[in-house]
Structure 1
């Protein structure tokens, strides 16, 4: 097909493309910025070319440097992945002038569908249902208000050249339109170099459902059914699945037919996605077409036994599709969760830093289904502020939706991340919710179910049992090892003898008797424990855990479980699904004394405005001595291509300003102090 493929991207998608190329026997070239010099993609590729500083505009968005890399290595084809230059029509045009193949759709399709204003006109002409909205460009915030008033609230404000939730806002009033228009335009210019904005009607409680299409250069176009991407936060997808638990066959077929009609209208000849919003009555409306591979493509691959990257390569090489629409069948169910470097306990703010510990569960069989992980990082890698904070995509597959969800949930339990925060507890909490399990979801699901943000879940009784058993076992193991050190004055009971503990966790105190097995540590010989508050009888715990392990897998009275585990200065930190706690294991006397300790008072930070994450100060909107009102915008900090507006929590007077526009700031760095 091709002699050598250059991947004009980074991270997870670069690794994903390289894996398919290796299977096909096609050599690959990775390009990298200073921030990615030691990345997994660079390690895996056959060749690698340095293209510039970390800022995307000076590296991954710099066409000249990528074209030079093609010439330097002799690459005769380029796969753009997603994001960056993947939907920039000028890039394939430039490649064509140098006789380098573009592994993506034709330029006309990119131009037509990349402009949301033009794409809606083409969609309507092709017979595709479209959302009511203003068909022209919006010049300023005043016109934006006039258009929104005419359409009727709520409205969606979004970048014409946008994608991935960047440059997108929902407004329910004229004032929200003004603020949202300015923020969306700034994000659009920063992310896409195009600040054009459109406004359309926002459908209440919609589901976001997209159709995967695949076309070749011979006029053949098929669809590979749908993916549901309704679980979103800040208009960015968090959990995706295929097929949708909501669609019936009739609606699925109609959506597929319209997606194919639109693709044929632009002679579509690669993998692409037609996105729809679907109301509670199954009325659906065209949203946009993404002329590239989607982040969530693995759920389609798993449920259709197809490699979309391979298909893109074959089509770009001029080959016909091997599938017809009659060949397309849905097989099982897949659910994907995006593991992000962000702190779910602090409003999902980006958590930038080094992956001091990163351990993935083994791919393959997992619980009732199987596991796939697409990632572009390893332990020791750094998550940079310059790029998207995704660590990995974790995908569960099963014969049924329930089995797929369970496989994914079991996998998240077995992921271990240290050095920065990750959103795994939040993802697990969503997967465990009754409404999600029933498929009762929509794009406002997270705001509706977590209106005050995420603070962890309340422990279930089974989680209390798992954590109590694990903590008692770990502590007993450590104590017994310590008594083997020469010179210890008070040896603890030996293996086979009883240990009396009090486990303190999340406001609970559980008296526990633990008897370790006679076998060696690490052997799955059942230990015994008795905890009257959690069980009417003695419980049997089988585990192969040994000191140094950061995953505690066990079986408690026949019920399998896994906890992420780490030592703390005081106690152990354990997590199961959305519940996490620091657990202390004490002797009864120590527990009695611990109960008398005074509560530590929280520091008073009411007069301080600090940066919630590492980032770049875009603007400071106040001056020293200025009086501000609660809710007033003070500072705008950009991190990972998203603008974060810091507002006053109460009325006050600015005493000092510690940062200026253009400054790089660390997490918790002081920005403004009030009198």
Structure 2
């Protein structure tokens, strides 16, 4: 069996940690890349060598083909694994590797050009008799002529797109021009190619894909299918294998057509053929991803095949060690993508510091991640924190295991979609598999967390944490001494003010006063990330992390509040309120993608004024009241730091 001595992983984040793990198990050395934003990733220490990429933009770092090739040559690597995203489907980069004698862990450059480009892939599929949706191709200027002849709704897509980027649903002619402009700009920014196509849009569709593999000897197999219908903003958040509730005929047709495509393309290494399926089980080819997929772990769980290992073996020149008949799908698997985002606010990405990132340590749960227990989330990258993967004998068991895993995942410091995912998994729409690709965008509010208002439990938890943070066991409480009064602490929780003081009565009991009301507490037990105590004969379980010296994130009943010493705020005057109403500020750092308004224009509440791209997600900033635009202070393409003044209103 041939194996590589040393590889370079041209990527960042969890996929680097995932590839490194398998490579080391195979005895292969690994070189990784990182930027100044990546110092909190575990693989930097685990790699055989880590190389710093200097620069402030993706063009300087993970999209810098020449620099990455130079690093690979300087470190005498045998091969480059591109992971997903960045240069993973860049045929020119694959060709550059080949030109300098470095193996590319993926398909050939010619196949990437054929199947990675949407128009050529669709035309290739159509010639083979694989069903495709009707489409029109061209630049934004060339496609404008179809505005009044299209049958809406339609989808505008980037020809070189992938990963849910460069896609817009258009439901009427009035929105066509704007969607065309934004999609073209996004295509140019993310893929370096502004070519687009317009495709029929299928309402209430399912997204099902087939994992295929080709070796160097003409063999092509499939590793069954995955369901990827649960999405937000065209990006997947829950994936599962196999697809549930489809007929054997459809399943067989998807497998057959995926293999037919891969064989005809002379495909080598891992790839994914994606299909859209309507309510009547009509299916249509969407695209082929010529790389490893984010969701590959669910395939690994149901087939017991290490996809990364097979990638490395095939790229090294080996033949499959198994046949199609030996690739058996057993049980069911789910993957949830844990993102730093706010489901209550349009899934807006959240940057900041993870004060606590403690994944469940259970044999039945797999977590693919790379962040340390505390880490910084950069606005320059995708907001993915980790992938949580569970299996079961059937779908319901896998879902039950996933709910338990998410509830046991301790994460604080930034808002996440953990609660949203948990609620969705418990809902009839997912249990009965009645979901479709647009569901989460339309009905997110049905599954957002019920927020528990702050009460005395949060304040009492803060008191114990503040008193005992210097210790790491229950014995810490003895240092305070019997009948020792504590000073009154003035706290703020969710803009409410609390006053708390207390003293220890005996070895087990405490007397606490919160806003002049007395409480008897007992048995405080202080652990890493957890605090337990009994209040009014009821046990209270707390998950906590420290933000600053005396401020803590405290989680009770799946609700997190920041509890901190009271900060006296100047009372907002009428002039302050008027000034705030006249100013529009950026709620997060990012790049201005689109400005919709001009000075003197009247805007109504809810009108989109601009789009800011942050963490690879577009965020529409809308007017919160009727007004008139006085001045626009930003331009398209401008980088924002967050809280920047962008528009003045009269």
After TM superposition, the score normalised by the length of structure 2 is 0.84
Partner of 1:313: 312
Partner of 1:30: 32
* 8 A contact 2:503–2:512 mirrored in 1: no
Partner of 1:530: none
Equivalent of residue 405 in structure 1, options 399, 410, 430: 399
Equivalent of residue 550 in structure 1, options 529, 551, 556: 529
Partner of 1:375: 369
Equivalent of residue 447 in structure 1, options 441, 445, 455: 441
Cα shift readout 1:152-194 (whole Å, capped 9, x = no counterpart): 2211111111011111011110122221111111111100001
Cα offset, 1:119, TM superposition: 0.8
SS in structure 1 opposite 2:423? helix
Q: How does 1:99-110 map to 2 (within 5 A)?
A: 99-110=101-112
Cα offset, 1:290, TM superposition: 0.4
Structure 2 CA distance for partners of 1:562 and 1:203, relative to 1, 3 Å: farther
Structure 2 CA distance for partners of 1:226 and 1:499, relative to 1, 3 Å: farther
* 8 A contact 1:141–1:178 mirrored in 2: no
In structure 1, distance between residues paired with 2:338 and 2:78: 34
Structure 2 CA distance for partners of 1:66 and 1:492, relative to 1, 3 Å: closer
1:635 is the counterpart of 2:637: no
**414-423 vs 106-115, greater mean Cα deviation:** 414-423
In structure 1, distance between residues paired with 2:541 and 2:285: 42
Partner of 2:474: none
* 8 A contact 1:342–1:348 mirrored in 2: yes
Partner of 1:84: 86
* 8 A contact 2:461–2:554 mirrored in 1: no
**236-245 vs 394-403, greater mean Cα deviation:** 394-403
* 8 A contact 2:483–2:505 mirrored in 1: no
In structure 2, distance between residues paired with 1:408 and 1:257: 31
Equivalent of residue 70 in structure 1, options 63, 69, 72: 72
Structure 2 CA distance for partners of 1:515 and 1:42, relative to 1, 3 Å: closer
In structure 1, distance between residues paired with 2:335 and 2:278: 23
SS in structure 1 opposite 2:136? coil
1:610 is the counterpart of 2:612: no
Cα shift readout 1:439-468 (whole Å, capped 9, x = no counterpart): 221102213432x58752377xxx99xx99
Partner of 2:491: none
Partner of 2:383: 389
Cα shift readout 1:69-108 (whole Å, capped 9, x = no counterpart): 1110001111110011111111121111111111101222
* 8 A contact 1:141–1:182 mirrored in 2: no
In structure 1, distance between residues paired with 2:238 and 2:596: 36
In structure 2, distance between residues paired with 1:623 and 1:422: 35
In structure 2, distance between residues paired with 1:474 and 1:647: 37
In structure 2, distance between residues paired with 1:184 and 1:662: 14
Structure 2 CA distance for partners of 1:499 and 1:50, relative to 1, 3 Å: closer
Cα offset, 1:432, TM superposition: 1.9
SS in structure 2 opposite 1:388? coil
In structure 2, distance between residues paired with 1:220 and 1:433: 42
Partner of 1:536: none
* 8 A contact 1:303–1:334 mirrored in 2: yes
Structure 2 CA distance for partners of 1:194 and 1:493, relative to 1, 3 Å: same
Partner of 2:222: 223
Structure 2 CA distance for partners of 1:449 and 1:164, relative to 1, 3 Å: same
Partner of 1:438: 432
1:270 is the counterpart of 2:269: yes
Cα shift readout 1:450-499 (whole Å, capped 9, x = no counterpart): 2x58752377xxx99xx999998997997986973664398565467798
Partner of 1:49: 51
Partner of 2:128: 126
Partner of 1:166: 165
Cα offset, 1:615, TM superposition: 1.4
Q: How does 1:396-545 map to 2 (within 5 A)?
A: 396-450=390-444, 452=445, 455-457=448-450, 484=481, 487-488=484-485, 494=506, 516=522, 522=525
In structure 1, distance between residues paired with 2:202 and 2:337: 25
In structure 2, distance between residues paired with 1:631 and 1:141: 29
Structure 2 CA distance for partners of 1:481 and 1:610, relative to 1, 3 Å: farther
Between Structure 1 and Structure 2, how many residues are aligned? Answer: 610
* 8 A contact 1:340–1:390 mirrored in 2: yes
In structure 2, distance between residues paired with 1:603 and 1:400: 56
In structure 2, distance between residues paired with 1:473 and 1:390: 30
SS in structure 1 opposite 2:135? coil
Cα offset, 1:307, TM superposition: 0.8
Unaligned runs of 5+ in 1: 504-510, 523-545, 585-600
Cα offset, 1:58, TM superposition: 1.4
In structure 1, distance between residues paired with 2:544 and 2:131: 50
SS in structure 2 opposite 1:36? coil
In structure 1, distance between residues paired with 2:317 and 2:31: 22
SS in structure 2 opposite 1:382? strand
Structure 2 CA distance for partners of 1:552 and 1:171, relative to 1, 3 Å: farther
**351-360 vs 253-262, greater mean Cα deviation:** 351-360
Structure 2 CA distance for partners of 1:481 and 1:347, relative to 1, 3 Å: farther
In structure 2, distance between residues paired with 1:496 and 1:396: 40
* 8 A contact 1:54–1:386 mirrored in 2: no
Unaligned runs of 5+ in 2: 469-476, 487-501, 565-573
Partner of 2:286: 287
Structure 2 CA distance for partners of 1:341 and 1:281, relative to 1, 3 Å: same
Partner of 1:673: 648
SS in structure 2 opposite 1:57? coil
Cα shift readout 1:232-284 (whole Å, capped 9, x = no counterpart): 11101111111112223222111101100010010111111000111122221
Cα shift readout 1:292-345 (whole Å, capped 9, x = no counterpart): 000011111111111111101111111111121111211221111111122223
**26-35 vs 268-277, greater mean Cα deviation:** 26-35
After TM superposition, the score normalised by the length of structure 1 is 0.81
Structure 2 CA distance for partners of 1:338 and 1:24, relative to 1, 3 Å: same
1:574 is the counterpart of 2:592: no
In structure 2, distance between residues paired with 1:619 and 1:287: 27
In structure 1, distance between residues paired with 2:367 and 2:634: 40
In structure 1, distance between residues paired with 2:190 and 2:79: 25
In structure 1, distance between residues paired with 2:234 and 2:372: 28
Partner of 2:18: 16
In structure 2, distance between residues paired with 1:417 and 1:280: 38
* 8 A contact 2:229–2:435 mirrored in 1: yes
* 8 A contact 2:138–2:196 mirrored in 1: no
In structure 2, distance between residues paired with 1:616 and 1:381: 23
* 8 A contact 1:349–1:613 mirrored in 2: no
In structure 2, distance between residues paired with 1:377 and 1:293: 21
In structure 2, distance between residues paired with 1:650 and 1:397: 48
* 8 A contact 1:473–1:514 mirrored in 2: no
In structure 1, distance between residues paired with 2:256 and 2:271: 14
Cα shift readout 1:133-169 (whole Å, capped 9, x = no counterpart): 23666644523415xx34x221111111101111101
Structure 2 CA distance for partners of 1:307 and 1:59, relative to 1, 3 Å: same
In structure 2, distance between residues paired with 1:374 and 1:433: 25
Partner of 2:5: 3
